[in-house]
Structure 1
Amino acid sequence: MSQAKNWTSYFAQLGENQAFEAATQQTQNAINDLFNNADSAYSGLEPTLLKQQLNAVDFSQPAPLKEVIETTNELIAKNSLLVQHPHTIAHLHTPPLIASIIAEHFIAALNQSMDSWDQAPAATYVEQQMVDWLCKTYQLGDRADGVFTSGGTQSNLMGLLLARDWFAYQQSQHDVQQDGLPEYAQKMRIICSDKSHFTVQKSASLMGLGERSVVLVKTNVQGQIDIAELQLTIDALKAQDLLPFAVVGMAGTTDHGAIDDLEAVVNIAREAGCWSHIDGAYGAALQLSEQHKARLKGIELADSVSVDFHKLFYQTISCGALLIKNKANFNTLLHHADYLNREGDELPNLVDKSIATTKRFDALKMFMTLKAVGEKQLGEFYDYLLSLTQQVATKIEHNKHFELCCTPLLSTVLFRLSPELQGELSDVAFNQLHQTLRLQLLTSGEAVIAETKVDGKLVLKFTLLNPCLTISDFDALIAKIENKAQALIANS
């Protein structure tokens, strides 16, 4: 018994919190010091050296937690990407709200598992409360329901998984859960735009349909699906005796921030006897914006919707949700397990509608955010960001050293070095120059920007997600990119 008593210093125990409090305070002090003294987006430590230092850590001998925290701060925290830095502007990676970080403290210390009520009594009700708020916010109707997920990948997989099972039952009363894929599975097709997220193909693979079951529809210059081509694609597939069963609409593509004509997408899907899934991981947050929520018209008609909270809802990673219009479709995920005691006690068990068993209490982050920040303030963040994005695009457009690739639709700016700077460089070399520029900015710690391809050309990308930024932050960033580009060209 005395030996077990000594082990309490390793755990956050009831009534034994001195070690926990000391470690928490030490960590918070280290983070405060890091934030207060950060002068770059990344330390600039050369990647190979960083890897060597991490690999040199000796795990054979435990050390006091105080020393471990110091090592973690020096070696990891100080060599991490600072998403709060004004020149960290590459990916859909947001600075988290304080309310979300504090929620993480509760989540980690309480360590609730969201699969059965007896493991998470209050947490179960909180998640359902947040799901109900989401279904009401997106106006999905009285039969709607949802579940929290790890993010867009899991949400898209679940949406398409439910679509597959729904279609098989509608087509031939086939039960995929019990009998596996139907004999006509090789004819089943998912339709999406050529700018849809790669998780559509990934989901098709995981569902046993294969990536070739995904049919891509061309998009316009802004990255939105061509509605006429969508209808022609469905008609052509049916004429070939193929079975389109799901249509994916985008509410915010990763590169362009494009939002499809969701109402048209859903109506075409419905007329064709297809399930409609909206990937709103990026742009569905606009539902809270008074200025921009009309751009999501039609989302309320969809059979399923993916929402990511660790993007424009400013939650810590990871946090997402899948919403469905008819909760009865969750029944295809239901599987009895005696040890969870799910029948007879009339208590809710969220595992009944999830592909995960053990699941984090991430709903608490949105619960605390809605209470501390509110819907109205979140919507104002988006209004400001979209306005700032247009200002940045104008600044790029008027700079003779750059060319704007397209008018921003959400909060991404795609641009490229001006053709005048290409000189005698080949197209391949000029593309490589953009990549080198991005990598040198990253590894030096000066700035973190993204790269992607548009019409075969490598382009640079700003992703504006931080509402604390101002246009002056971009004056310095653009000047930094311009100077680095000119230096590289001079040495090429």
Structure 2
Amino acid sequence: MTTPSFDPPPPSVPRPRAAESAGYAQLFHPDNAGRYASAVTDALRLLLDQLATVEGPVTGLSPAAAAAPVTGVDLDAPLGDVTAALTEVRDLWLADAVWFHDTTYAAHLNCPVVIPALAAELLMAAVNTSMDTFDQSVGGTFIERHLIDWTAARAGYPEGMRDGVFTSGGSQSNLQALLLARGEAQLRGVPLERLRFFTSADSHFSIAKSARLLGLGDAAAIAVPTDAARRMDVDALERMLADCVADGLVPAAVVATAGTTDFGAIDPLDEIADACRPYDAWFHVDAAYGGGLLASPRYRHLLAGIERSDSVTIDFHKSWFQPVSSSALIVRDLATMQHASWYADYLNPQESENPNQVDKSLQTTRRFDAVKLWMTLRVMGPDGLGAYFDAVIDLAREVHDRLALMDDIETVAPSQLSTVVFRYAAPGLDEEPLGEVNRRIRAALWSSGRAVVAATRVEGRQFLKLTLLNPKATAEELLDVVDTARALGRELTSVAAEVA
């Protein structure tokens, strides 16, 4: 691989400064522009050199082997040189990093990232903008606000009312959404101990965790059964909402999922909106995974009904191909954001005329993550970005259909998005040893560096999972991974039979 040639800007003309005599040569500063350019160039060359050697998603390093050299580093003895430190970081991390761009990485909801966003990362890291107040972000404030408004418009929220804020991830977005739901219920005078949240049995764990964090207790998060397609069963929801009221409790919120982690299922949003209406329950859609459909040229219809929700979680670092972290909570009515507001005289006094983003955020200091998506949209456009997600949806459907034809592979409900839940199913093997075989298949794939797949449990049974977010991956590559898993399964089953 040919390494690009760079001509870094020359350092500023040296000027005598107190900072230099005090040993501040490592600060990002015009006086140190040349040093910065050299360090960034060295890091980029290291990255490109490493990228050229990647032959799989992982090297298969074990936790013990990864930990030993790191814990042996004496952090009180600096190396004093960027080149030496980069070499050390390569040996401790980069050489054995998990590469999400590799087409046989198919485990978690980690996407390969787009180049315009990486260019933005370089700028945002150096400038170190903080999004809490206008006087720390200036134009960044309005870039974030414009992107929030654009996203909310794509979700169908009414102009002039909609709002939102960037967050660290889907868990934080869900927490804030349920904080707003709790606040709206409290405005109606409902005591905390009577509030209940309803969500699919297959929803993200952050919903139940949020109930605990919001002081409502574990019993406040009620799991609604799913149907044969792994979507929330609306008939069951309606019965459970009625039972909730009959018990003297209050349905404060219903959380639908647009893309469950395991099955990529999208709950029936329109029907859930109908079910919420008689109870004045807050309707939140966790579209952390499926939110990329808002930019989809072909599959946007799968989110029909999202426009009736009160809030939506979007993870741009999943199906929008952005680097971690990049998420947002968008809301139908900006007035509801008051439940997350707090004012401090030293930061954002209530009488301030400045547009301070901290007024509606759970975080104070916060990265300018919005600039990554801004750069991406300005280079690729939403259709170009959405086409990437469309490609992996098509890929998952093809892979699922072909696995369903294999005698020794068991599949679960086909995904509406880009996951495929399956397992090796040896004839005549009981559930417990079959689960162990599949666990060992996954471990063997990791150790070999051949591929990375996920594991999950479906109604107590052990399964494997392909999570597909790489538009460059092909069905043949993934079927080859499955064939490797099948061969491992046969070998493990044979060994187990011999031992028995």
The answer to which of 11-20 and 125-134 deviates more is 11-20
Q: Does residue 1:225 correspond to 2:240, yes or no?
A: no
Residues of 2 paired with 1:88 and 1:359: CA distance?
30
Q: Which one of the candidate residues 161, 169, 175 is aligned to 2:187?
A: 169
Pairing 1:89-100 to 2, within 5 Å after superposition: 89-100=106-117
Amino acid at match of 2:172: Q
Q: Which one of the candidate residues 407, 414, 434 is aligned to 1:407?
A: 414
Amino acid at match of 1:28: L
Q: Does residue 1:481 correspond to 2:497, yes or no?
A: no
Q: TM-score, normalised by structure 1?
A: 0.94
Residues of 2 paired with 1:352 and 1:229: CA distance?
38
Amino acid at match of 1:55: T
Q: Does residue 1:462 correspond to 2:462, yes or no?
A: no
Residue 9 and residue 381 in structure 1: after superposition, are their counterparts in 2 closer, same or farther (change >3 A)? same
The answer to which of 358-367 and 57-66 deviates more is 57-66
Amino acid at match of 1:5: E
Pairing 1:302-381 to 2, within 5 Å after superposition: 302-344=309-351, 346-381=353-388
Residues of 2 paired with 1:386 and 1:335: CA distance?
41
What residue is the counterpart of 2:83 in the other structure? 66
What residue is the counterpart of 1:426 in the other structure? 430
Shift of 1:185: 1.7
Alignment: residue pair count: 478
Residues of 2 paired with 1:345 and 1:410: CA distance?
44
Q: Does residue 1:160 correspond to 2:167, yes or no?
A: no
Shift of 1:249: 0.7
Residues of 2 paired with 1:208 and 1:282: CA distance?
27
Residues of 2 paired with 1:250 and 1:343: CA distance?
35
Shift of 1:345: 5.0
State the Cα deviation string for residues 194-213 of structure 1 (Å, max 9, x = none): 11111011100000001111
- Percent identity for Structure 1 against Structure 2: 33
What residue is the counterpart of 1:5 in the other structure? 20
**SS state of the match for residue 30, structure 2?**
coil
**SS state of the match for residue 17, structure 1?**
helix
Q: Are the aligned partners of 1:405 and 1:416 in contact in 2 as well (CA < 8 Å)?
A: no
Q: Are the aligned partners of 2:133 and 2:358 in contact in 1 as well (CA < 8 Å)?
A: yes
Amino acid at match of 2:124: I
Q: Are the aligned partners of 1:263 and 1:299 in contact in 2 as well (CA < 8 Å)?
A: yes
State the Cα deviation string for residues 23-57 of structure 1 (Å, max 9, x = none): 11111111111111111211223321221111111
Pairing 1:244-255 to 2, within 5 Å after superposition: 244-255=251-262
Shift of 1:418: 2.3
Pairing 1:48-447 to 2, within 5 Å after superposition: 48-63=64-79, 64-142=81-159, 143-170=161-188, 172=189, 184-344=191-351, 346-420=353-427, 423=428, 425-447=429-451
Amino acid at match of 1:75: L
Q: Does residue 1:32 correspond to 2:39, yes or no?
A: no
Q: Are the aligned partners of 2:179 and 2:339 in contact in 1 as well (CA < 8 Å)?
A: no
The answer to which of 337-346 and 153-162 deviates more is 337-346
Q: Does residue 1:452 correspond to 2:469, yes or no?
A: no
The answer to which of 404-413 and 337-346 deviates more is 337-346
Amino acid at match of 1:252: G
Residues of 1 paired with 2:312 and 2:348: CA distance?
30
What residue is the counterpart of 1:45 in the other structure? 61
Shift of 1:344: 5.0
Amino acid at match of 2:30: L
Residues of 1 paired with 2:209 and 2:246: CA distance?
26
The answer to which of 330-339 and 4-13 deviates more is 4-13
Amino acid at match of 1:34: Q
Q: Are the aligned partners of 1:45 and 1:444 in contact in 2 as well (CA < 8 Å)?
A: no
Residues of 1 paired with 2:176 and 2:91: CA distance?
40
Residues of 2 paired with 1:250 and 1:114: CA distance?
29
Residues of 2 paired with 1:322 and 1:337: CA distance?
23
Q: Are the aligned partners of 1:149 and 1:319 in contact in 2 as well (CA < 8 Å)?
A: yes
Amino acid at match of 2:202: K
**SS state of the match for residue 105, structure 2?**
coil
Residues of 2 paired with 1:141 and 1:320: CA distance?
21
Residues of 1 paired with 2:311 and 2:221: CA distance?
18
Amino acid at match of 2:177: G
Residue 120 and residue 345 in structure 1: after superposition, are their counterparts in 2 closer, same or farther (change >3 A)? same
Q: Which one of the candidate residues 472, 475, 481 is aligned to 2:476?
A: 472
Residues of 2 paired with 1:239 and 1:283: CA distance?
34
Q: Are the aligned partners of 2:179 and 2:340 in contact in 1 as well (CA < 8 Å)?
A: no
Q: Are the aligned partners of 1:8 and 1:16 in contact in 2 as well (CA < 8 Å)?
A: no
The answer to which of 259-268 and 470-479 deviates more is 470-479
**SS state of the match for residue 16, structure 1?**
helix
Shift of 1:334: 2.1
Amino acid at match of 1:29: R
Shift of 1:112: 0.6
Shift of 1:4: 2.2
RMSD, matched Cα: 1.5
Q: Are the aligned partners of 2:104 and 2:473 in contact in 1 as well (CA < 8 Å)?
A: no
The answer to which of 476-485 and 133-142 deviates more is 476-485
Residues of 1 paired with 2:394 and 2:138: CA distance?
43
Amino acid at match of 1:65: V
Residues of 1 paired with 2:193 and 2:341: CA distance?
25
Shift of 1:336: 1.8
Amino acid at match of 1:108: A
Residues of 2 paired with 1:233 and 1:136: CA distance?
32
Residues of 2 paired with 1:164 and 1:40: CA distance?
46
Amino acid at match of 1:129: H
Q: Are the aligned partners of 1:342 and 1:349 in contact in 2 as well (CA < 8 Å)?
A: no
Residues of 1 paired with 2:302 and 2:393: CA distance?
13
Shift of 1:218: 0.6
Shift of 1:383: 2.0
Residues of 1 paired with 2:493 and 2:451: CA distance?
19
Shift of 1:341: 4.8
Residues of 2 paired with 1:227 and 1:441: CA distance?
39
Shift of 1:369: 0.6
Give ranges in structure 1 of 5+ residues lacking alignment: 173-181
Residues of 2 paired with 1:76 and 1:384: CA distance?
31
Q: TM-score, normalised by structure 2?
A: 0.93
Residues of 1 paired with 2:372 and 2:488: CA distance?
40
Residues of 2 paired with 1:459 and 1:278: CA distance?
27
